[in-house]
Amino acid sequence: MVLVLDFGSQYTRLIARRLRELRAFSLILPGDTPLEEVLKHRPQALILSGGPKSVFQPDAPRPDPRLLSSGLPVLGICYGMQLLAQELGGKVERAGRAEYGKALLTRHRGPLFRGLQGEVQVWMSHADAVTGLPPGWRVAAETEENPVAAMESPDGRAYGVQFHPEVAHTPKGMQILENFLELAGVKRDWTPEHVLEGLLQEVRERAGKDRVLLAVSGGVDSSTLALLLARAGVDHLAVFVDHGLLRLGEREEVEGALRALGVNLLVVEAKERFLEALRGVEDPEEKRKIIGREFVAVFSEVAREKGPFRFLAQGTLYPDVIESAGGHGAAKIKSHHNVGGLPEDLGFELLEPFRLLFKDEVRELALLLGLPDTIRLRHPFPGPGLAVRVLGEVTEERLEILRRADDLFVSLLKEWGLYE
């Protein structure tokens, strides 16, 4: 497992995703996480992310200095490389000429660049530069503008790159990241099959014989969660509220697919209720509030009528539980509720099996669980449905026009090979 320490980079989540694409499990922690907390996760390697700050700023985020002497393999990216250099006795200065955009590594050497031949295109974004190496370190790559574009430690356990290997503008970046994983001896078993096996075990152990309630919107996250509960064999009820604001044929498609795959699905017909609540309302934000309020009311009624339930299952994803904290802009974990505003007396415990997964990983699980591609690859759709696309009052006539227009548009995208 690799821990990505976040120092405010816009690419931090992308780093974590790239590692998972290479089948290495990764988590994001704030850059200043203490050593004791880091070690609780038992990481095999650390990556120090980039960041918008300069190492010379008084409020520049810094790692726990003990991490750099912990013996863990480390890769510093951009700002992370500058931190490595500065903390370990090297020298960082304002660059004589900042590098932003594409650059070429004119020379590269060492195990981090194994398998790469000739000049290598990379993506730079920095105004500071390492001008003096920490004692014993070696230059691993350079550009015409930067004589220290990458560096490596004497023992081959720590590396720094001034560029961003995680972005698409560094075409060989995945090879560089993979080389680091191999050098660090990181376990590479983060496969969809392995993830699914672990989630099934987690759900069975957590839910046991207790009942689980979930709301199904028809999107990939909630639909995949419903399939997971069904495959796990737990006592569940999936509630699909037809509020009359759905796309053409959406209810029939979701209902048919999930029931065929063993989901215990309850479809609630609430079209008249929602349209009546929206009568005469033109303000978009007011529409959202009304739809949210009515959904909570319907869902709560079902929970009381069909209950009791111990757990409320939600398709919360990893990006949902990470937010940018004030100041350093480093990752911070927060609680997240997809079905907000439920009465406290319902007393649910949250069950969030996908809380450490990215969207593309849920789609991979959906494929294994047999979710049809028409749902698995469907574009995201707002919770309030077509109501937010209606200018002015929501009427059945306007909704029908929108359904036909949306269906035609999506059909053409698929016909022209542009949908996916």
Q: Hey, what's the torsion of the CAs at 410, 393, 382, 215, to 10 degrees?
A: -120
Res 325 pLDDT > 60:
no
3-state secondary structure 220-231: HHHHHHHHHHHH
Using the Cα atoms of residue 334, residue 338, residue 342 and residue 344 in order, give the sign of their dihedral.
negative
Answer yes or no: are the C-beta atoms of 216 and 238 closer than 8 Å.
yes
What's the pLDDT at 379? Answer: 87
Rounded to two decimals, the pTM is 0.89
* Structure confidence by residue, pLDDT tens digits, 259-313: 999 999 999 999 999 999 999 999 999 999 999 999 999 999 999 999 899 999 9
Among residues 274, 214, 296, 219, which one has the least CA distance to residue 250? 219
Residue 220 annotated as binding site: yes
Q: Span 374-395, mean pLDDT?
A: 89
Res 348 pLDDT > 90:
no
Answer yes or no: are the C-beta atoms of 8 and 51 closer than 8 Å.
yes
Residue 166: active-site member:
yes
110: alpha, beta or left? (left if phi > 0; alpha if psi -120 to 50)? left
* Structure confidence by residue, pLDDT tens digits, 167-218: 999 999 999 999 999 999 999 999 999 999 999 999 999 999 999 999 999 8
Residue 26 annotated as binding site: no
Among residues 5, 7, 48, 46, which one has the least CA distance to residue 24? 46
**Percent of the chain whose pLDDT exceeds 70:** 94
* Structure confidence by residue, pLDDT tens digits, 83-133: 999 999 999 988 766 677 899 999 999 999 999 999 999 999 878 889 999
Res 372 pLDDT > 50:
yes
What's the pLDDT at 363? Answer: 96
Residue 268 annotated as binding site: no
* Structure confidence by residue, pLDDT tens digits, 217-269: 989 999 999 999 999 999 999 999 999 999 999 999 999 999 999 999 999 99
Cα–Cα distance, 159 to 126 (Å, whole number):
17
Cα–Cα distance, 68 to 267 (Å, whole number):
55
Residue 27 dihedral angles phi and psi, to the nearest 5°: -135, 155
Res 156 pLDDT > 80:
yes
Residue 205: active-site member:
no
Answer yes or no: are the C-beta atoms of 333 and 321 closer than 8 Å.
yes
What's the pLDDT at 145? Answer: 85
Question: Cα(first)–Cα(last) distance of the chain, in Å?
Answer: 31
* Structure confidence by residue, pLDDT tens digits, 27-42: 999 999 999 999 999 9
Cα–Cα distance, 46 to 73 (Å, whole number):
6
Q: Which of 78, 126, 243, 361 is catalytic?
A: 78
Q: How is residue 321 written in tokens?
A: 């539980």
Domains of the chain with CATH codes: 2-184 (3.40.50.880), 192-415 (3.40.50.620)
Using the Cα atoms of residue 43, residue 49, residue 53 and residue 57 in order, give the sign of their dihedral.
positive
Residue 219 annotated as binding site: yes
Q: Which of 99, 108, 152, 164 is catalytic?
A: 164
Q: Please state whether beta strands 158-161 and 74-77 pair in parallel, antiparallel, or not at all (unpaired).
A: parallel
* Structure confidence by residue, pLDDT tens digits, 44-53: 999 999 998 8
Q: Which of 87, 99, 152, 166 is catalytic?
A: 166
Residue 125 annotated as binding site: no
Q: Quickly count: other Cβ atoms within 10 Å of residue 356's Cβ.
A: 16
**Percent of the chain whose pLDDT exceeds 90:** 81
State the average pLDDT for the chain.
92
